[in-house]
Amino acid sequence: MLPIGSFQVKDQILVGLIEEFCGISGVSRNNESGHISEGPPSWIMEGGHILSEPGEEPPEWYQNDV
């Protein structure tokens, strides 16, 4: 098993995402590329909200979980 965060794991994730995107959208794999970059959650905005540190998510974060 590869360690989480290893180059190989990131590459597998990225290749899988690009392949799925191309399969769904019909865009040629030759026309797509991607990059995975890491940083602290406070550098990321999702849905207009800055992400919380792991374990510090507010209760409303989970209100739509099924």
Q: Is the pTM of this model over 0.75?
A: no
Mean pLDDT by 10 residues, the chain (66 residues): 74 95 96 89 89 88 78
Burial class (CB in 10 A: 0-12, 13-18, 19+), 42: exposed
* Angle, CA 15 vertex, CA 25 and CA 20 arms, to 5°: 25
> For position 5, what pLDDT does the model report?
65
Q: Give the residue extent of every domain in the chain.
A: 7-62
